Amino acid sequence: MADNARAKKLADLIREVVAEKLLRGVKDPRLGTHVTITDTRVTGDLREATVFYTVYGDDEERAAAAAGLESAKGILRSAVGSAAGTKFTPTLTFIADALPENAKTIEDLLDKARASDAAVREVSSGAQFAGDADPYKKPGDEDDATA
C-alpha cells in the first residue's frame, strides 16, 4: 500500500496530464473544450484511478463526450504512464461529475428561500406589535390601576 501523499500526488498528476492531453493531444471532435476534468482519485494501491469530468452542453453532448472518453482511454493511459514513471500505470475510469446538477439544485432551493423571505417581509411590513407600545410597568401605573 502506498501512502496517501503519494496517491494524492499521482491523482494530481493524472488530472493535469489527462486535461492537457484532452486539450491538445486527442483529435476527437466529441471532446476538446467541452470537457472539464474536475477531480481525480486514486486507490491506495495506485492501481485504479477515477477521473471525474463535466461537460458543458445538453444530454446529447454529454453522451458523445462519454463515448469519446471511452475511445480515448488507451491514449490517455499511455500519456499518464509516460508522465508518471511508475511501475504500473493505473487504469482510468471516467465518471460524469454531478457537481453542476447539485449546484443548480442548491441554487433553486436558495431562490425558493429568498422568495419565502420576501413574502414574509411583505406580510409583516404593515403589522404592529401585539400589546402596548411600552409593555413595561412603571411605578406610577399601579396607582392608576387601583383607582
Q: What is the pLDDT of residue 11?
A: 92
Instruction: Answer whether residue 102 shows pLDDT above 90.
Output: no
Please state the rounded mean pLDDT for residues 17-35.
81
Neighbours of 80 (CB within 10 A): 25
More confident residue, 92 or 34: 92
Whether this model's pTM surpasses 0.95? no
Spatial CA neighbour of 94 closest among 45, 21, 5 = 21
- Average pLDDT of span 138-146: 65
Residue 138: what pLDDT?
78
The pLDDT, as a whole number, for residue 95 is 92
Q: What's the pLDDT score for residue 126?
A: 79
Q: Which residues of 115-143 are buried (b: 16+ CB within 10 A; e: fewer)?
A: eeeeeeeeeeeeeeeeeeeeeeeeeeeee
Higher pLDDT, 35 or 113: 113
